[in-house]
Amino acid sequence: MIFSQDNSWYLDIICARGVGSLLIKQIQQLATETPEVRYVSLSALPNVIGYYKRFGFVNTPSYETCGTEHMKKEMNKYNLRDEAETSAFLKYLVGIKFIRNKNCTTVDCANQHGYPMTWCVPHKRGGR
């Protein structure tokens, strides 16, 4: 499902084994072709953060529209296919409050609500 808000799209429920990659690529292509869309966001469960990273999604605080270069570099410090490194990255995200539910103070709590991620449409950065 895609929800449109201002100049962004929010993806919800991309649980499509075997076709998830095709769906994401198609959505990114459509976003690129839609003049008013500047970014696409979603809330990732911990086990798919690395998956979305492969498509250019970056963890962001829920109020930020596009992932920063700083966070891209930070994400690259962790091997998100490794359980221990993923756990360390999730602790980092909770510590800086890059989590969907700001009331969470533990990884277990944040895991239930997800981690905001954003993909900026190339050449359309900025704006809310």
**CA 90, CA 53: separation in Å to the nearest integer?**
14
Q: What is the pLDDT of residues 15-60, one digit of tens each?
A: 666 778 888 999 999 999 999 999 999 999 999 999 999 999 999 8
**CA 67, CA 61: separation in Å to the nearest integer?**
9
- pTM for the predicted model, two decimal places: 0.86
Residue labelled with tokens 């994401």? 24
Residue type, 47: N
Hey, which residues does 39 pair with through a beta bridge? Answer: 8, 120
